[in-house]
A and B are shown apart, each in its own frame.
Chain A
Amino acid sequence: MILKLIKKGFNYSQDGPGNRLVYHLQGCNMKCIWCANPESIPINGILMTNNEENFEAKISYFEMSVEEILEEVIKSKMLFFDGGGVTFSGGEPTMQFAELKDILKQLKKLHIHTTIETNGTHERLEELFSLIDVLIMDFKHIDNQLHEKFTGISNDRVKNNIKKAFTKHKNLIIRTPLIKNINDSKKTAMEFIAFYKENNTDNAQYEFLKYHEYGKAKWKSINQEYKIKEGYISDETLNMYKELFEKNNLKIIST
């Protein structure tokens, strides 16, 4: 089985606990206008150029077989300190579902800590729950219309999967990127809270990611327009979100 990846590398504590080897998989079913890895969106990859003067194009992904990834992971084990392990991110890792499931199974056999970062849309996501030690799910907007406007698809399945995860996964982190004029209002925060409170949220933790523009240059490299003009939010907005969640006994984390 072959996986398409846009990048891989180590990171500490930002994509799951401890020091982790993170694989970013090609392909995503959303098209978030703030995406930091826009080259990861098309499932079959895209040509990227480095700059206009010195035109040089390369395809956005490279391939690795499940076996190659496993071998690499085993050779990297000494770097999984502080509870670290392997994270699959994206793109959207579940776009390569069969391959992902296979590799997660094998990692579990090897007792390697696993995490995935998913947008929560895959209809069979639940099948992976037992193979994942920490499940990180993005929930980008509570309002379905706005969700569709900014990501390209409805949030119905996201909600559904979050509900399942609330009851069936022991270690769930729900992440929301906070972006000015998109989801930074108190009203939106309260709506998120209302949704979460309908469920048993004991196993879940919540994290807010402040808007950043690390991926802005990449939009240019794939010849597409970066549409957000002013997305940065203030510390006050972030604190407002945090305070409201805490007031409602929702556990906030910051990694």
Chain B
Amino acid sequence: MKRYFEVKELEDMAKKLYRKEREIHRLDGWFLAKELYENSMQENKEDVHVIATAKALYKVIINIPLYIDEDNIFVGTQRDAFAKSYALINPNFKISTFNGYCDPTEVFNDIEENDTFTRERIENVREKTKNGEYVKSLTRIYESAKNDTQEVAYFIEQVTGHLIPDFRTVIRYGVLYMQSEILNRINNEELEAKKNQYIAMHQTLDSVLILAKRYCKIAQAELEKCEGKRKQQLQLIVKTLSNVPVNGANSLYEAVQFFILLWQVMCMEQAPNPFAFSVGNADRIFEPYRKKSNLSREYTAGLLKHFLVFFNVGDRSWAISQNIMIGGKDKKGNDLTSITSFAFFDAYYAMNLPQPILSVKLHKNTPDRLYQELGKFFFTPGTLTPSLFNDDSMFEVLKRHGIEEEDLEDYSIAGCQEPLIMGKDNGNTTNSWLNLAKILELTLNNGKSLLTGKKIGASYQELNIKDEKELLENIREVYYKNVEIFVDRMVEYANSVTQVLSFLEIPFLSIFMGGIESGIDIRDTKSQGTKYNGSGCLIHGVSVVAESFIAIDELLHVRSNDCEYLIEALKDNFTKEQELHQFLLNCEKFGNNKDKVDIETANVAKRIATIIRSKKNYLGNSFRPDFSTPSTHLIYGSLVGALPNGRKGKEMLNYGIDPLYGEAQNGLGFRVLSTHKLPYEEFNGGYASHLGLDPNYFKAKTNEEKGMEFKNKIITPLFYSCDNEKIAPFYLYVNITTPETLRKVLREPKKYAPSGTYIMRIHGTFVNFLDLSPEIQEDIIKRLDLESTKY
């Protein structure tokens, strides 16, 4: 390999590629793909739908314009699967523009018309999409749910992306091997539907082969034009593409190239915008090939730098939440850190890109060296930081919810923090979003919105409540009853949108999700194509609701005569009742190791998790409670009126399972103790939690020593110090900085972020802080909440 690329050269080329990617301001590929897809579907409308779909993918792949950049060492791009705008990574995003509606044709507004992409051409494809059964059905469902979703008592969405394919077999044996496997199935299958699914799968694999051939041809043409080293490099590309993806990979270089081509086709199959596909346990996928190639850590890192650049799309690098996992343990408890794990760290650190997301799995026997190597990420300002998972705890949680022992080590993260078994689990993760705080507001205010007066939920009468006093005295019972009513509606609509999505089969991805064994498309809503299946529900506002219950109790207990003023005070956003407001603010808040409110928060979490899990999805499998709020704590908060815990109307909700900003004031240890009381065994859909930490909290000199200090001060208390009988927390992300530092970066980006990139963590992903909208930047600054983590 070294005769083709020097280590230093690999990095230079990767950095140049990234710079060039950031200069791409137009993303038109997805539109071309959509146009080609619609035309192909029209041409083949007599075919069985799944076969027509496979043909359409092939048509897209054979026609989409391709090129090889002079700095590419691997060929392939996922650029053509993504449209340009995305709410959070868009400086123009405003929380107030959220309209509680999911319009599948809105993406067509993303493309700026020009001579090539004329208004007529854009509208033509939009119309075709709009008139398809898929969009028409979705529109009907959203229309029906509108009363609940406009102010987000809940929200629903059809989930694309958000899966973790298992490419290990195909990379090992090659596409021809997979096709022969599928052929066997076709020959032995009696059911027509499965036969057709297999035919479609077979055809989609041709798409990967043709993609490689097209790149090979381009490389051949290019090498005719150049001399010297680049010629040799292009020869290597040609040679590589003549082996993979047809046959299995023989080296790390071939394995990475193979992976990229598969990824490209997978994303194109779901264009536009298949959010949050994840690589899975990346070090374990590639380590066998590194070993086979006998490559050093340094050289491996060089190749992986290009692998990482591949995931960055366009001027804001945004193929959001594509996750790479490193480290962890196997089912026997052996640590799985390898040279490739550290090479990934090196590649990440040197490149410091906004994508793909790095996640690190930890466990009690994680070697100290891994913590030492993590130090440089946490303690270099503006550098990406991994989110952290606790395998010891996660294995136990997943096991309790039906994951078999042999599959535990293959859990991985799709999107932000949702655990799924690589290649075996369709978690339909972001299918539904539940706003506990809004439901509390509606329960308290006779079913009406405090912000708009609109009737959304059940009235007192409908809930069999006489008056406000009776309501407050029975608040928990009435509230949970009301939650059930909303959740039932949410589930019905969530299942409906998933059923609509099943119109759009994805035979290619299905191959890598157990489809060869099952012969069933992963989106099939009548038969289960993956070993595990569920639907996600993201739950918002746990602690603010629990605190509100405690505040109501206090009010009833201490000043029961003032009860009647509470609802009025909420309506009035505490403008007149300032003294009452102060009383409510002074009631116990979550995150200070106060038993009453901490246990209430745990109870709310448990009760809601139980309700969610009792609901069945389209296949009769349980919904999975996921206590994460990916910036939706802001959006949903802006649609919720004042609450009895003293939070004013339109303010943010608490983030994930964290205390509301400003309410935990006793420092890190006490916050951790509160956190320990939550029922993690219930959180099988995942959860979000963040600590903002002051860099001054860490006193050691070197980054390696600080990495160990981070282990001792943060990870050991949080992950490994719970009571034995309790399941410990299993997720965390951190930002180690101060509000002052971030404000300086915003004021003088040229000085503090000369590269134009300053990476911060925001929920499950990291982002270029400078690419964000001001409201999201402010949220990051505010939620550092250093008071809650001080010593």
**A interface residue numbers (CB < 8 A to B):** 7-14, 19, 21-22, 72, 75-76, 78-79, 81-82, 214
- A78 and B712 within 8 A (CB): no
- The answer to whether residues A19 and B593 also contact, given A9-B668, A12-B709 and a CB cut-off of 8 A, is no
Contact partner, A78, options B595, B667, B709, B723, Cβ 8 Å: B723
Q: Quick one: which of B667, B676, B722 contacts A9, CB cutoff 8 A?
A: B667
Q: Are A11 and B593 interface neighbours, CB within 8 A?
A: no
Note all chain A residues with C-beta closer than 8 A to B721. Answer: 19, 78-79, 81
Instruction: State how many angstroms separate the Cβ of B368 from the closest Cβ of chain A.
Output: 13
- A10 touches which one: B668, B676, B723 (CB < 8 A)? B668
A48 and B430 CA atoms in complex are apart in Å by 47
B790 near A9 (CB under 8 angstroms)? Answer: yes
> Which residues of chain A come closer than 8 Å to B720, judged between CB atoms?
81
CB distance from B19 to the nearest CB of A (A): 39
Task: Tell me if B673 counts as interface (CB < 8 A to partner A).
Answer: yes
Cα A105 to Cα B595 in complex, Å, equals: 26
The interface residues of chain B lying within 8 Å CB-to-CB of A10 are 667-670, 672, 717, 791
Total count of chain B residues near the partner, CB < 8 A: 23
Is B666 among interface residues, defined by CB-CB distance under 8 A?
yes
B63 within 8 A of A: no
CB distance from A77 to the nearest CB of B (A): 9
Query: What A residues does B747 contact at CB under 8 A?
Result: none
Tell me whether A81 and B593 are in contact in the complex, defined as CB-CB below 8 angstroms, given that A9-B667, A13-B712, A14-B699 are known contacts: no
A82 to B709, CA, bound (A): 13
* Chain B: minimal CB distance from A65 (Å): 16
- Closest chain B residue to A22, Cβ basis: B791
Q: Flag if B717 contacts A19 (CB, 8 Å).
A: yes
Extra contacts, 7 of them, besides A9-B791, A10-B791 (Cβ < 8 A), are A9-B790, A10-B668, A10-B669, A12-B712, A76-B593, A76-B669, A79-B721
B460 to chain A, nearest CB (A): 40
16 sampled A-B residue pairs with Cβ under 8 A: A8-B666, A9-B668, A9-B670, A10-B667, A10-B668, A10-B672, A11-B791, A12-B709, A21-B669, A75-B595, A76-B673, A78-B676, A78-B723, A79-B717, A81-B716, A82-B716
A72 to B670, CA, bound (A): 10
What is the total of A-B residue contacts with beta carbons within 8 Å? Answer: 54
With beta carbons under 8 angstroms apart, the residue of B666, B667, B676, B712 that contacts A19 is: B712
In the complex the two chains form, is A72's CB within 8 Å of B723's CB?
no
- Does A82 contact B712, Cβ atoms closer than 8 Å? yes
Contacts of B716 in A (CB 8 A): 19, 81-82
The answer to whether B172 has its CB under 8 Å from any CB of chain A is no
A21 to B717, CA, bound (A): 12
Most buried by A among B593, B669, B676, B709: B669
Q: Which residues of A contact B461 (CB under 8 A)?
A: none
- Name the A residues within 8 Å of B791 (CB-CB): 9-11, 22
> Is B696's CB within 8 Å of the partner chain A?
yes
**Interfacial chain B residues near A76, Cβ < 8 Å:** 593, 669, 673
Q: Chain A's nearest CB lies how many Å from the CB of B732?
A: 16
Q: Is B713 an interface residue (CB 8 A)?
A: yes
Could you tell me the distance between the alpha carbons of A82 and B713 in the complex, rounded to whole angstroms?
Answer: 11
Give Cα distance in the complex from A8 to B672, angstroms. 14
For residue A13, which residues in chain B have a CB less than 8 angstroms away from its CB?
712
B residues near A214, Cβ cutoff 8 Å: 696
Closest A residue to B791 by beta carbon equals A9
Chain A contacts for B722, CB-based, 8 A:
78
Q: Which residues of A contact B723 (CB under 8 A)?
A: 78
Residues of chain B with a CB closer than 8 A to A21's CB = 669
Residue of A7, A10, A19, A21 with highest tally of chain B CB at under 10 A:
A10
Contact assessment for A75 and B593 in the assembled complex, using a CB-CB cutoff below 8 Å:
yes
A9 and B669: CB pair below 8 A?
yes
A19, A78, A214, most chain B CB atoms within 10 A: A78
The 9 lowest CB-CB distance pairs between A and B, nearest first, are A10-B669, A9-B667, A9-B791, A12-B713, A12-B712, A78-B721, A11-B791, A79-B717, A79-B721
State how many angstroms separate the Cβ of B438 from the closest Cβ of chain A. Answer: 32
Q: Which residues of A contact B699 (CB under 8 A)?
A: 14
In the complex formed, the residue of A with least CB distance to B696 is A214
B711-769 contacts to A, CB under 8 A, are 712-713, 716-717, 720-723
A82 CA / B699 CA spacing, docked (Å): 18
Nearest B residue (CB) for A18:
B712
> Which B198-240 residues have a C-beta within 8 angstroms of A?
none
Chain B residues whose CB sits within 8 angstroms of the CB of A79 once the complex forms: 669, 672-673, 717, 721
Query: How far is A19 from B667 in the complex, measured between Cα atoms in Å?
Result: 14
Kindly state the separation between the CA atoms of A72 and B720 in the bound complex, as whole angstroms. Answer: 20
Contacts of B666 in A (CB 8 A): 8-9
Nearest-CB distance from A67 to chain B (Å)?
15
Minimum CB–CB distance for B714 against chain A, Å: 9
Interface residues of B in 70-129 (CB under 8 A from A): none
Closest Cβ–Cβ distance, residue B526 to chain A (whole Å): 48
A39 to chain B, nearest CB (A): 15
- Say yes or no: A75-B673 contact (C-beta < 8 A), given A9-B667, A9-B668, A9-B791: yes
What residues on A are CB-neighbors of B717 within 8 Å? 10, 19, 79, 81
Residue in chain A with minimal CB distance to B724: A78
Q: How many angstroms from the CA of A81 to the CA of B721 in the assembled complex? A: 7
Give B716 Cβ to nearest chain A Cβ, in Å.
6
Residues 689-707 of chain B, each 1 if its beta carbon lies under 8 Å from chain A, else 0? 0000000100100000000
A10 to B721, CA, bound (A): 13
Residues in B whose Cβ lies below 8 Å from that of A72: 593
| Complexed CA–CA distance, A214 and B696 (Å) | 9
When distances are taken between beta carbons in the complex, the residues of chain B under 8 Å from A75 are 593, 595, 673
Shortest beta-carbon distance, A25 to chain B, in Å?
16
User: Roughly how many angstroms separate A31 CA and B712 CA in the complex, as a whole number?
Assistant: 33
Who on chain B is nearest to A76 by CB?
A: B673
Complex Cα–Cα for A78 and B676 (A): 10
Q: Which residue of B lies closest to A19 (CB)?
A: B717
A220 to chain B, nearest CB (A): 16
Min CB–CB distance A3 → chain B (angstroms): 16
Smallest CB gap from A78: residue in B: B721
Contacting residues, chain B, for A9 (C-beta < 8 A): 666-670, 790-791
Nearest Cβ in chain A — how far from B476, in angstroms? 25
Complex Cα distance A44/B716, Å? 37
Contacts of A11 in B (CB 8 A): 713, 791
Instruction: State A75–B699 Cα separation when bound (angstroms).
Output: 27
Query: In the bound complex, what is the Cα–Cα distance between A79 and B720 (angstroms)?
Result: 9
**CA of A55 to CA of B558, assembled, Å:** 31
Interface residues of B in 637-667 (CB under 8 A from A): 666-667
CA distance A90 to B666 in the complex (A): 17
Q: In the complex, what residues of A have CB within 8 A of residue B713's CB?
A: 11-12, 19
What's the Cα separation between A8 and B593 when bound, in Å?
13
Residues of chain B contacted by A82 (CB below 8 angstroms)? 712, 716
A78 to chain B, nearest CB (A): 5
The residues of B that contact A19 with a CB separation of less than 8 Å are 712-713, 716-717, 721
CB distance from A160 to the nearest CB of B (A): 32
- B691–chain A nearest beta-carbon distance, Å: 13
CA distance A21 to B669 in the complex (A): 8
**C-alpha spacing A193/B790, complex, angstroms:** 37
CA distance A75 to B673 in the complex (A): 8
Nearest opposing residue in chain B for A255, CB measure: B699
A11 CA / B709 CA spacing, docked (Å): 11
* B372-410 interface with A by 8 A CB criterion: none
In the assembled complex, the CB of A40 is this many whole angstroms from the nearest CB of chain B, namely 15
Provide the bound-state CA to CA distance between A163 and B492, in Å.
78
Interface string of B671-692 (1 = CB under 8 A from A): 0110010000000000000000
**Which residue among B676, B699, B709 has the maximum number of chain A CB atoms within 10 Å of its CB?**
B699
Closest to B709 in A: A12
Contacts of A78 in B (CB 8 A): 676, 721-723
Instruction: Give, as a whole number of angstroms, the nearest-CB distance from A175 to chain B.
Output: 15
Complex Cα gap A7–B717 (Å): 20
| CA gap between A127 and B621 in the complex, in Å | 66
Which A residues touch B672, using CB under 8 A? 10, 79
Q: How far is the CB of A173 from chain B (nearest CB, A)?
A: 17
The docked-state distance in angstroms from the alpha carbon of A7 to that of B696 is: 17
